[in-house]
A and B are shown apart, each in its own frame.
Chain A
Amino acid sequence: MNPTTDPVLDVRDVHRTHGAGAATVHALRGVSLTVRPGELVAVMGPSGSGKSTLLALAGGLDSPTAGEIRVEGQSLGELDRRRLAQVRRRRIGYIFQDLNLLGSLTAAENVALPLELDGVGVRAARRQALAALDEVAMGGLGDRFPDQLSGGQQQRVAIARALVGERRLVLADEPTGALDSQTGEAVLHLLRTRVDAGAAGVLVTHEARHAGWADRVVFLRDGVLVDSTAPLPGVEQLLTGSPR
């Protein structure tokens, strides 16, 4: 949790507008953000503040109107569609609120899919997928279909899929969704562990309790970063209750 190396994600003065003329919506207005290995950054803000737009841009799912986004030094705007898709598959893991698991594939097949799309052989992909499922305490359930799993188990599969392979940037959009507080906490625990092992993470959430898992918390309001929070030392005093 002491990142000192080059950023995995570097968002530079990014603007994103939708529509034109009187109907123009400024989703982001000059946002800059860097996330280094071992660092988890939470993005908070009210609905419509631009949180999910920022995440979509960071993940190459959308492109900025102005500004630049680099993932592991590679500027996403310079890539053609094929190379961009490759970066998305190999370097970026996504955890969405709606899990986007394919109902016709088993848990292990869901996790193996991005690897297979990337040219990894079926057997090797399955082996890696089972290892990833093990890591999220889902060993032994790899052959079940999503509808045979609880909400929390499905979310674990989605996380295993996001973390499988060599991905170093993990983007999570309200990853605890409708999960109960214990299960949601377990999801954040997994994310934290993965980041501590060297990944860079961005967590979009409207719950302060979840943002508490991050090293840094940024607040978006109307497309602008208004506030940034890095923790301060001194919590021991708070816990012993001794006055200043």
Chain B
Amino acid sequence: MSIRHGLLALLERGQMYGYQLRAAFEESTGSTWPLNIGQVYTTLSRLERDGLVRPLPEGEGGQRPYEITDAGRADLALWFATPISRTDRPRDELAIKLALALTTPGVDVRSVVQGQRTATMRTLQELTRLKFASDRPEDLPWRLVLDSMVFQAEAEIRWLDHCETSLVRYSPPPGRPAPTAAEAVDRSDQEVRR
């Protein structure tokens, strides 16, 4: 998961300055991804350079808040809309993406889930096809590797189905969207690692 999109998602909730972004980022990811303030400012200046955020006048405490631009919103929407490929995905990006999708205004979490499931299902079909074509006894090591990928994809689809079922029962509390759902996803991640 890129810090860029994480920060853009947070700014979509409203303007924030560096320390607030860092705290909110860690809150959203259940502190599974600690961030130092230097990374936040480096990322913000790149986002500003690319026209995705813009700095606002300094506040009373001397902090400079940032807000997301229309180009930033478009970039964020594209990230949410694009399924992650298994080739280049850090382990937890999908969980974090869904957690953020739930708490980011205007994101249709169900289509994020559905788009990902379609993409993962395609992967599963291709893997099965390869397995079907490799049925000589000497293909066994290769088949086991394929199996491992098959089971990972299956687990992901089961989890996505589960998310979808949970979303049917979920209605966001009035006012500010609830970060608790995002925390729940990430807390379980932490517990698994322990």
| Co-complex (A, B) | yes
Q: Give me the interface of A with B, judged by CB distance under 8 Å.
A: 46, 189, 192, 207-209, 211-215, 217, 219, 226-227, 229-232, 234-235, 237-239, 241-244
**Which of these binds chain A: B11-19, B53-61, B114-122, B170-178?**
B114-122
A229 touches B118 (CB 8 A): yes
Q: Give me the interface of B with A, judged by CB distance under 8 Å.
A: 85-88, 114, 117-118, 120-130, 132, 135, 150-151, 153-154, 157-158, 161, 165
Assuming the A-B contacts A208-B154, A235-B130, are A244 and B87 also in contact, with contact meaning beta carbons closer than 8 angstroms in the complex? yes
Assuming the A-B contacts A241-B87, A242-B87, are A211 and B118 also in contact, with contact meaning beta carbons closer than 8 angstroms in the complex? no
CB proximity of B169 to chain A, nearest CB, Å:
13
A244→B114 CA distance, assembly (Å):
23
Main secondary structure of the interface of B (DSSP, over half): helix
Could you list 7 further interchain pairs (A-B, Cβ under 8 angstroms) beyond the known A46-B161, A208-B157, A213-B128? A207-B154, A212-B127, A226-B114, A230-B122, A231-B129, A235-B126, A241-B87
- Chain B residues positioned under 8 Å from A238 (CB to CB): 85-87, 123, 126
Number of A-B contacts defined by CB within 8 Å: 72
A237→B121 CA distance, assembly (Å):
16
A231→B125 CA distance, assembly (Å):
6
B132 touches A229 (CB 8 A): no
- Chain A residues positioned under 8 Å from B125 (CB to CB): 211-215, 217, 229, 231
CB proximity of A192 to chain B, nearest CB, Å:
6
CB proximity of A231 to chain B, nearest CB, Å:
4
What are 8 inter-chain pairs, A to B, with CB distance below 8 A? A208-B158, A212-B125, A217-B125, A227-B118, A229-B125, A231-B122, A232-B122, A244-B87
- Chain A residues positioned under 8 Å from B123 (CB to CB): 235, 238
- Chain B residues positioned under 8 Å from A244 (CB to CB): 85, 87-88
- Chain B residues positioned under 8 Å from A227 (CB to CB): 114, 117-118
Quick one: which of A46, A208, A231 contacts B126, CB cutoff 8 A? A231
- Chain B residues positioned under 8 Å from A219 (CB to CB): 117
- Chain A residues positioned under 8 Å from B128 (CB to CB): 209, 212-213
A229 touches B87 (CB 8 A): no
A229 touches B121 (CB 8 A): yes
In the complex formed, the residue of B with least CB distance to A221 is B164
A211 touches B87 (CB 8 A): no
A107→B6 CA distance, assembly (Å):
61
A226→B165 CA distance, assembly (Å):
14
CB proximity of A121 to chain B, nearest CB, Å:
37
A241→B89 CA distance, assembly (Å):
11
A226→B121 CA distance, assembly (Å):
14
CB proximity of A86 to chain B, nearest CB, Å:
34
A208 touches B132 (CB 8 A): no
A241→B86 CA distance, assembly (Å):
9
In the complex formed, the residue of B with least CB distance to A241 is B87
CB proximity of A15 to chain B, nearest CB, Å:
22
In the complex formed, the residue of B with least CB distance to A232 is B122
A234→B127 CA distance, assembly (Å):
11
